[in-house]
């Protein structure tokens, strides 16, 4: 058996600094005295120095450069980081639930969110002893919100990622986002500007393996480097499939690979191109996997044991067998404030109408029994 107390002393602070929650930090320090001493220098208020320092910092009113005119940001807008976690009972770790949380900008308190949106999650439990659970982080998501009281994203950052941008000899954190009309915008904490030279009709943005990718209306993938320069990466999807409707394409990471998911609306997208804010209910989805050798997207008919979670602020995959009620080969999404699931094998979508569904509900993973 390995004696964990004999790990090199210089290694312990490096491990402690990469833990994802205060609960895990406490567990780490309780292993033995040497592990406890290793975290004495860690800031207990903000114990994770690997996290960018601009998390949750309010944005003061600042100049915004758009179309050669100067506007003002909404006072109080700020960058919010949310995190998705898998939570299991320590006594039964094989199956778990999914929770999502951020920190209230006003009180600084931890709060739970609806996993598929950024609205606060209503729950009856007044307190929760997380030491009874095992918690592991799945994914993080960023959003530039209009103010601390609401949950509404700013129009210029409907999809957002945190990136490192080169400024002179240094690199600084900034936010790249896609606006409501498909333009790419950049915010460095002070000035918000539209990267007009990159064009428009972009649908999604993601940081995958350290590279920032954006997806446009034809399924073309572009890369944005640290100098905020854009270059084409691969070929496009068949325009007959996407109909050039850029708002229906999303990126998803799965097993280290990059996928594109197309939402199929019930109405023909070409009939409503003139109205960007008209929404048609979802008829289904198509999934494509990037074949880097061939340089094109290949349609995928099955996801195996994987399920895609299409939240409003990010998309990712999970293993279905690790979550209560989660259906394999399926896509979870939200529509008209209700969670829905689409199964690729039979093409049928279903929705939940209340939390009173049976314990075998396909949405059980979003409604933990302990809340």
Q: Quick one: pLDDT band at residue 95, thresholds 50, 70, 90?
A: very high
Helices (H), ranges, the chain: 11-16, 22-29, 33-38, 239-242
CA distance 181 to 224: 19
CA distance 193 to 63: 9
Structure tokens at 11: 């290694």
Q: Quick one: pLDDT band at residue 74, thresholds 50, 70, 90?
A: low
* Residue closest to 234 by CA, chosen among 213, 250, 249, 254: 213
**Which pLDDT value is given to residue 320?**
96
Structural domain boundaries of the chain?
4-38
Region of residue 34 (left: phi > 0; alpha: psi -120 to 50; beta: else): alpha
- Pick 44 or 3 by higher pLDDT: 3
- Pick 259 or 348 by higher pLDDT: 259
Tell me the average pLDDT across 193-204. Answer: 80
Distance of CA 231 to the CA centre of its chain: 24
Share of the chain above pLDDT 70, in %: 69
pTM of the model: 0.78
Share of the chain above pLDDT 90, in %: 21
Tell me if 335 sits within 8 A of 281, measured CB to CB: yes
Residue pLDDT, tens place only, 279-335: 678 888 899 998 877 778 888 989 999 999 999 999 999 999 999 999 999 999 998
Tell me the average pLDDT across 8-29. Answer: 70
**Which pLDDT value is given to residue 21?**
58
* Residue closest to 250 by CA, chosen among 317, 189, 318, 295: 317
Structure tokens at 48: 């994770």
Q: Quickly tell me which residue has 């994914």 as its tokens.
A: 139
Residue pLDDT, tens place only, 127-181: 666 667 888 889 999 888 876 666 778 888 889 998 988 877 788 888 999 988 8
DSSP-assigned beta bridge partners for residue 208 = 211
- Pick 77 or 261 by higher pLDDT: 261
Determine the Cα angle at 317 with ends 314 and 322, to 5°. 130
DSSP-assigned beta bridge partners for residue 102 = 111
Determine the Cα angle at 81 with ends 80 and 86, to 5°. 145
- Pick 176 or 240 by higher pLDDT: 176
CA distances to 18, 27, 52, 146, 259 from 317, rounded to whole Å, are: 22, 28, 24, 28, 10
**Which pLDDT value is given to residue 365?**
93
**Which pLDDT value is given to residue 46?**
42
Q: Quick one: pLDDT band at residue 347, thresholds 50, 70, 90?
A: low
Of 106-120, 155-169, 260-274, the one with minimum mean pLDDT is 260-274
- Transcribe 209-269 into DSSP letters: TTEEEEEETTS-EEEE-TTS-EEE-S-PPPHHHHTT-GGGEEEEEETTEEEEEEEEESS-G
Residue 368 has pLDDT above 80, yes or no: yes
Count other C-beta atoms under 10 Å from residue 254's C-beta: 19
- Pick 221 or 168 by higher pLDDT: 221
CA distances to 237, 248, 357 from 243, rounded to whole Å, are: 10, 10, 37
**Which pLDDT value is given to residue 237?**
66
Determine the Cα angle at 55 with ends 54 and 61, to 5°. 60
Tell me the average pLDDT across 109-137. Answer: 77
CA atoms within a 13 Å half-sphere pointing along the CA-CB vector of 313: 31
């Amino acid at each position: 058996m390995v004696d964990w107390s004999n790990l090199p002393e210089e290694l312990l602070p490096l491990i402690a600094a990469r833990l994802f929650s205060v609960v895990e930090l406490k567990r780490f320090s309780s292993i033995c005295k040497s592990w406890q001493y290793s975290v004495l220098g860690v800031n207990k208020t903000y114990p994770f120095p690997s996290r960018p320092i601009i998390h949750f910092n309010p944005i003061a009113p600042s100049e915004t450069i758009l179309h050669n005119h100067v506007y003002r940001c909404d006072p109080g807008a700020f960058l919010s980081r949310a995190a998705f976690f898998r939570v299991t009972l320590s006594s039964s770790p094989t199956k778990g639930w999914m929770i999502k949380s951020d920190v209230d900008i006003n009180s600084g308190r931890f709060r739970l969110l609806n996993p598929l949106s950024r609205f606060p999650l209503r729950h009856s439990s007044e307190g929760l002893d997380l030491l009874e659970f095992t918690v592991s982080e799945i994914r993080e998501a960023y959003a530039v919100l209009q103010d601390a009281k609401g949950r509404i994203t700013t129009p210029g950052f409907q999809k957002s990622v945190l990136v490192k941008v080169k400024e002179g000899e240094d690199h600084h954190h900034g936010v790249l986002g896609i606006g409501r009309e498909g333009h790419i915008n950049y915010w460095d904490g002070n000035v918000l500007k539209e990267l007009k030279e990159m064009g428009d009709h972009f649908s999604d943005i993601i940081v995958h393996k350290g590279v920032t990718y954006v997806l446009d209306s034809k399924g073309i993938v572009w890369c944005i480097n640290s100098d905020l320069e854009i270059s084409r990466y691969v070929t496009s999807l068949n325009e007959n499939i996407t109909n050039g409707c850029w708002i229906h394409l999303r990126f998803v990471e799965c097993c280290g690979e990059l996928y594109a998911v197309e939402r199929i609306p019930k109405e023909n997208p070409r009939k409503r191109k003139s109205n960007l804010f008209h929404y048609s209910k979802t008829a289904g989805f198509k999934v494509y996997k990037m074949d880097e050798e061939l340089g094109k997207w290949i349609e995928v008919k099955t996801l195996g044991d994987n399920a895609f979670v299409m939240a409003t602020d990010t998309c990712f995959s999970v293993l279905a067998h690790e979550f209560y009620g989660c259906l394999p080969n399926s896509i979870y999404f939200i529509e008209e404030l209700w969670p829905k699931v689409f199964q690729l094998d039979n093409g049928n979508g279903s929705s939940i109408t209340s939390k009173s569904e049976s314990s075998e509900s396909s949405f059980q993973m979003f409604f933990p029994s302990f809340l």
